[in-house]
Amino acid sequence: MSRRPYVRPMPANWFMSKPAYRFYMVREASCVFNLVYGLNLFAGLWQLTNGAEAWAGWLALQAHPLMIVFALATLAMTLLHTVTFVEMAPRVMPQQIRKMIPDNTVKAAMFGGIAVVTAAIIGFTAMGAM
Amino acid sequence: MTEQTIKLEILRYNPEADNEPSFGTFEIPYNEAWSLLDALEYIKDELDSSLTYRWSCRMAVCGSCGMVVNGRPQLGCETFLRDHYPNTIKVEPLANFPIEKDLIVDATGFIEKLESVKPYIIDAVDAMKANPAKKVKETPKNEIGTYNQKPAELGLFKQFSMCINCMLCYSACPQMGLNPMFTGPAALALGHRYNLDSRDHGSDERTEVIQDKNGVWSCTFVGYCSEVCPKNVDPAAAINQNKAQGAQDWALSFLMPRKGEK
Amino acid sequence: MQIVNADIVIVGAGGAGLRAAIAAAEKNPGLNIALISKVYPMRSHTVAAEGGSAGVVQAHDSLENHFQDTVAGGDWLCDQDTVDYFVSHSTEEMIRLENWGCPWTRKDDGNVNVRAFGGMKIERTWFAADKSGFHMLHTLFQTSIKYPQIKRFDEYFATDLIIEDGRAQGVVAIEIATGEPKTFLGCAVVFATGGSGRVFRFNTNGAIVTGDGHAMAFRAGAALRDMEFVQYHPTGLPGSGVLMTEGCRGEGGILLNKHGYRYLQDYGLGPETPVGEPKNKYMELGPRDRLSQAFWNEQRKGNTIETPLGDAVHLDLRHLGKEKLMERLPLICSLAKNYLGVDPVTDPVPVRPAVHYTMGGIRSDQTCKTDIPGLFVAGECASNGMHGANRLGSNSLAETVVFGKVAGEMAVDFASQATQSDEKILAEQGRSHLSRIDAMRNANGTEKASHIRHEMVQTMEKTLGIYRLGEEMQEGVDKIAELRERFKNVKVEDKTKVYNTELLLAFELDSSLMVAEAMAVGALNRKESRGAHQRLDGFEQRDDENFLKHTLTYFNGDKAPRLDYEAVNITRFQPAERVYGAAGEKQGEEKK
C-alpha cells in the first residue's frame, strides 16, 4: 500500500489561527467574567451577613481601581455575551417557529426584554439609593 | 508590455516521496476571468502535471473542489483571481482531514458520517417496523401518488437540503479537529433535513446518532461552519436546534418517563 | 490482482447508475451489487442539471402529446417504441422520486408543480427550483444508502470491460486512492457512465464527462450510434460555458440581440409572444437546436453583442421580478453574479450556445440491451433511440431514472439466468488488461496529453459546430486521427500510484479521442441536415429517403471507425416537416 495519508496536528493555540476563532474564544470567555463577578457579589452578600465592618471592607474593595477596571471589563463582556446570544438565539429556535417569526422580530423582542429588565433593575437600584 | 502574472503558493504532499507537506510556488499568467480552478488547470496542463486536486462541475454544485484559500475554506470554482490580484494566493487542502496527495483529502470518514444519519425517507410502514409499539400516521398522499406537502412544509427543510457535501464546514469546524469522531455539521444538518420533512417518520431512528456525544453535543456553536457554507445551509442552526430539542426531550423524560422508551 | 466478486457490476453512480442499483436491489434483494464510480456519487454530472424532468401529469396533457413532442423534437430519428416506453413510465418515476424525498417545487395545494420547457406542447417539467438534477441525484444517492446489498466503490476508475464466453462479465477498475487495479466480476454489467461533452472546448459539462464508458464498450465491440448529434444548449455563459437553464425561458425569460430585438421570430419560431407570457413551442420555448442555430445566424449578421469573453446575446429575466427569480431561479442568479458580475434582477445576462449533451451513445434498445450480451446501458451514455437528432430539454433527467430502472432490472434477470465462467479464466483476462494500464502508467513519449486535449477540443469546436461543412469535417476527421496517432507517443510524467490524476486524464483523453473520431466520421458521412446536425454545403435539407436511419460506428483499431446504418423504429408517427411557432400550430390543426 502506497497510501500514506498525512494527518496535520491540531496546534494547541488553534484558536489564534483565524479571526472567527478568536472572536469565538472571546465570546466564550465572556462567561468567565460573569462567573468571577458573580462570585464577587456572593462574597459581598457573605460580608453583609458578617456585619457592617465586613460590608464596608467589601465596598472599599469595589472602589479599588483594579476592581473598577474589572467591573468595566465585565460590563463590556456581558454586553458582548448579550449581543452574541441574541444574535444566535433565533437560529436555535425550532425550525417550525423560526419559519413563522422573522429572526429580526425575535431579536428585537429579546433586546426589548433585556432593556426592560435592565431599566427595572437600574430603576429599583436608584430608588433604593434615594 | 510584460505579461501580468500572479503567484500561487500551494501546499504539496506526495505520499510516496515526502515526509510532510510543504509549499510549492507557481507563477502563472494573470487572467481576470479565471477562477482558482482555471489557474490550477493551467498549472497542471503547462507547468506541473503531477499537481493533484478534485474538480468537476465548475458551477458550485458538485462539491468536489473545496480547498483552503488564504486560510478560508472555499470552493475553487467560486474563487476568482481578480479578487486577490496582485497578491499571492495561498492554497491548502481542507483542514481537519488527512491529506492524501496535494489538495486531495481523505473523504471516506465524511461519507460514513453522512450515511450514519440515515439520510432517506423512513415512511410510516418502516417506522412502525422499527418500533411496533409506536403509532405512526401515514402522511396523506395526492391523487397521483405523491405525498401532499404544502409549500410551507417544504420550506421547513428546504434550506437543509441544499448541502452539496463540499466539506467546507468540516474544514471550518475546530471541534472537528479536536474530536475527529464528531459527526459534523453537514451530516447532522442532513439528518435534521429528513427529520423536518413531513413525509418522514424516522426521527426516532436518527436520535441515537444525532443526540450522541459525538453528535450535536460535540458542537460548541463556533458558527464558522455556517459562515463558510457556499449554499447558506446554516448547519450550525440545524445542530443547535437539535440540542434545544434534545435538552427538552431529556427534561420531559423525567416528567413522563415512558416517553422515548423502546 | 485483487478480485471483487459481485452479481451485478454497475459503472457510474449518477442518476442512471444509482437508479439501476436501487432497482436491482429491490428486484432481488439477495444479489450483491458493486457500484463503481470514478467520483463520489454526488459529484456525478447529473448534479448540474437545472431545469427539470419531464413527466405528463396535467389533465389536459397526454402521453401522446409527450410522445409527439419528443419524436418531432428529435427530427424523427427517435425509435418510437422506446419513446412510447419512456413517456408512459416517466411520471411514475417522478412520483417515486417524490416518495423518496425529492423536494420538487410545490403548488399551494400540496401537489407538485410543473413548468414549461422548450419544444414541449404542455407544461410537464417537474422541477426543484433550478437545481432539479442536484436534488434528484442527492435523493437517489441518499436513498441508495438504505440498501446494504449495494456496495459502493467510490473513486474507482474503470478501464476495461471483461468479456468472456461472448458476454460481459465484469470490469477492470483502478482504485484511485492506491493506484491498484482490481477485477470486478459479475454476471451482468450496467454502464451508466454519462456523456462526452468535454471533447468540445466550449461546453456546459463537468470535467468528468469524457466518454469513458462509450470508449470501453466501443473497444469491446459495441456500436456507438448517432454520435454526430451533439446538442448545443443555447444559453451558456460566455467564457466558462456555465449553464443558464432552459427553465429561465420556461419561466418567461426572453432572448435579445444587440438591437434589443427578439430575433427568434425571424427563424420560424414566431410570431413574437408578449413579454412575460411564454407560449409553449413559440419563440424562446422552441427546441434547443433551432435556438442555437438562430444564434449562429445572428452572429453572421453582426447582430450579436461583443463581450470580452466572446459574442453573446442577452437573456433578459428582469421582468420576472426579484421574488420570482429568487423562488424559481436562485442558482442562475448566483451563477450570473459570481461568474459574470451580472445580476439578472437588474441586468440582462449575456449568453451563447455551448455544447451540452450527446444524443448518441452506446447502441441499445428500450430494454437497455446492447450489442454485447450481459451489458446494459442507461442514461446519457446510451443511445436507446430516445432523443433522435435533438433532445428536448427535461427529457434526459427523466431518462436517467426510467431507463436506469430498466437496466437494473434487466441486469438482475440476466444475472439470475447466467452462470459465471470459470473464475480462473476471468481473472486471467483481468490480468491481461493490466498491460494497458502499465503501458499508460509508464508512457514515456514526448507528447503532452494536455496539449493533445487542447488541440482535440479546438478541432471539434471548429469543425463540428452548430453548422457544418464537409470540407471542415474532413479536416476534423484527419486531425483527430492525427491526434490519436500522436497519443501513442504520450508521456505520463507522474509515476506515483496514489491519486495519480495525470494517469486518469490520459485514460480519459484516450477515450475522448475515440469518441471524437466516431462523432466526426458519423457527421461527415451524414449527407443531410437533421436536428443538431446542420450542414451548409449542399445538404441543407433533411433527407428521409437516404438518412432516416441511425449511424453506427464500430471500433476499428487504430483506423477510423467502421460505419454502418440501421433503420429507425417508426410505429405510428410518420415523418413530417418539423415546425414550431404559428406554423407548428397550423400543422397541428390540419392533422386534427
pLDDT tops 60 at residue A66: yes
Phi and psi at C260, nearest 5°, equal 75, 20
Q: Classify residue B261: in a domain, yes or no.
A: no
The reply, when asked if residue C38 is annotated as ligand binding, is yes
Kindly determine whether residue B120 and residue C497, on different chains, have CB atoms separated by under 8 Å.
no
Residue C282, judged by CB atoms within 10 A of its CB (0-12, 13-18, 19+), counts as buried
Does domain C235-353 bear CATH number 3.30.465.10? no
Same domain, B204 and B176: yes
Kindly determine whether residue C242 and residue B59, on different chains, have CB atoms separated by under 8 Å.
yes
Instruction: Provide the shortest C-alpha distance from residue C496 to chain A (in Å).
Output: 9
C252: left (phi over 0), alpha (psi -120 to 50) or beta: left
pLDDT level of residue C379 (50, 70, 90 thresholds): very high
Kindly determine whether residue B13 and residue A6, on different chains, have CB atoms separated by under 8 Å.
yes
List beta partners, residue B7.
B27
- Mean pLDDT across chain B: 95
Residue B261's pLDDT is 44
Cβ-based contacts of C177 with chain A (< 8 Å): 3
Spot the catalytic one: C288, C363, C526, C578.
Answer: C288
Across the interface, of B99, B221, B227, the residue whose CB is closest to A6 is B99
Q: ipTM of this model?
A: 0.97
Chains contacting chain A through 3 or more C-beta pairs under 8 A? B, C
Q: Classify residue B78: in a domain, yes or no.
A: yes
Residue B258's pLDDT is 57
Same domain, B175 and B138: yes
Cβ-based contacts of A4 with chain B (< 8 Å): 15-16
Residue C4's pLDDT is 97
Q: Which CATH class is domain C2-103+125-231+357-432?
A: alpha beta
pLDDT tops 90 at residue B135: no
pLDDT tops 90 at residue B98: yes
Kindly determine whether residue A3 and residue C496, on different chains, have CB atoms separated by under 8 Å.
no
Does A20 reach chain B within 8 Å, measured CB to CB? yes
Q: Classify residue B210: in a domain, yes or no.
A: yes
Q: What is the pLDDT of residues B194-243, one digit of tens each?
A: 999 999 999 999 999 999 999 999 999 999 999 999 999 999 999 999 99
Q: What is the pLDDT of residues C392-423, one digit of tens each?
A: 999 999 999 999 999 999 999 999 999 999 99
Cβ-based contacts of C179 with chain A (< 8 Å): 2
Q: Where is the domain boundary, B72, B105, B138?
A: B105
Residue C590's pLDDT is 84
pLDDT level of residue B257 (50, 70, 90 thresholds): low
* C50 close to C539: Cβ distance less than 8 angstroms: no
The reply, when asked if residue C70 is annotated as ligand binding, is no
Across the interface, of A3, A18, A96, the residue whose CB is closest to B156 is A96
C288 is catalytic: yes
Report d(CA C440, CA C458) in Å as an integer.
Answer: 24
pLDDT tops 50 at residue B260: no
pLDDT tops 70 at residue C53: yes
pLDDT tops 50 at residue B262: no
Specify the 3-state DSSP secondary structure of C54.
Answer: strand
Q: Which of C35, C15, C21, C41 is nearest to C171 (CA)?
A: C35
Across the interface, of C106, C145, C450, the residue whose CB is closest to B149 is C106
Dihedral (CA of B98, B103, B108, B114) sign: positive
* C192 close to C12: Cβ distance less than 8 angstroms: yes
Residue C329's pLDDT is 95
Q: Classify residue B262: in a domain, yes or no.
A: no
List beta partners, residue C225.
C361, C552
Specify the 3-state DSSP secondary structure of C305.
Answer: strand
Q: Find the CATH number of the domain harbouring B97.
A: 3.10.20.30
Q: Number of folded domains in chain B?
A: 2
List beta partners, residue B90.
B9
Q: Classify residue B243: in a domain, yes or no.
A: yes
Instruction: Provide the shortest C-alpha distance from residue B37 to chain A (in Å).
Output: 23
Q: Per mean pLDDT, which range of B131-135, C104-108, C170-174 is the poorest?
A: B131-135
Report d(CA C244, CA C350) in Å as an integer.
Answer: 10
Same domain, B137 and B234: yes
* B177 close to B225: Cβ distance less than 8 angstroms: no
Domain ranges of chain C: 2-103+125-231+357-432, 235-353, 434-549
Same domain, B138 and B62: no
Residue B2's pLDDT is 66
pLDDT tops 90 at residue C178: yes
Same domain, B140 and B166: yes
Same domain, B143 and B115: yes
Three-class DSSP labels, chain A: CCCCCECCCCCCCHHHCCHHHHHHHHHHHHHHHHHHHHHHHHHHHHHHHCCHHHHHHHHHHHCCHHHHHHHHHHHHHHHHHHHHHHHHHHHHCCHHHHHHCCHHHHHHHHHHHHHHHHHHHHHHHHHHHC
* B261 close to B255: Cβ distance less than 8 angstroms: no
Same domain, B112 and B95: no
The reply, when asked if residue C51 is annotated as ligand binding, is yes
Same domain, B54 and B31: yes
- Mean pLDDT across chain A: 94
pLDDT tops 90 at residue C89: yes
Does domain A16-90 bear CATH number 1.20.1300.10? yes
Same domain, B206 and B82: no
Q: Which CATH class is domain C434-549?
A: mainly alpha
Suggest the residue from C112, C501, C502 to mutate for an interface test with chain B (most B CBs closer than 10 A).
Answer: C501
Same domain, B167 and B137: yes
Specify the 3-state DSSP secondary structure of C168.
Answer: strand
The reply, when asked if residue C394 is annotated as ligand binding, is no
Domain ranges of chain A: 16-90, 93-130
Nearest CA in chain B to C494: B50
pLDDT tops 80 at residue B259: no
Q: Classify residue B152: in a domain, yes or no.
A: yes
CA angle B214, A6, B63 (to 5 degrees): 65
Across the interface, of C111, C142, C154, the residue whose CB is closest to B120 is C142
Report d(CA C379, CA C212) in Å as an integer.
Answer: 14
Q: Where is the domain boundary, B105, B127, B143?
A: B105
Nearest CA in chain B to A17: B71
pLDDT level of residue B75 (50, 70, 90 thresholds): very high
- Mean pLDDT across chain C: 97
Residue C206, judged by CB atoms within 10 A of its CB (0-12, 13-18, 19+), counts as buried
Same domain, B165 and B122: yes
Rounded to 10°, the helix C470-487/C449-463 angle is 170
Structural domain including B27 reads 5-105
Rounded to 10°, the helix C501-525/C470-487 angle is 150
A107: left (phi over 0), alpha (psi -120 to 50) or beta: alpha
Chains contacting chain C through 3 or more C-beta pairs under 8 A? A, B
Suggest the residue from B36, B42, B56, B196 to mutate for an interface test with chain C (most C CBs closer than 10 A).
Answer: B56
Q: Which of C329, C505, C399, C513 is nearest to C46 (CA)?
A: C399
Residue C2's pLDDT is 95
Same domain, B115 and B243: yes
Q: What is the pLDDT of residues C179-229, one digit of tens each?
A: 999 999 999 999 999 999 999 999 999 999 999 999 999 999 999 999 999
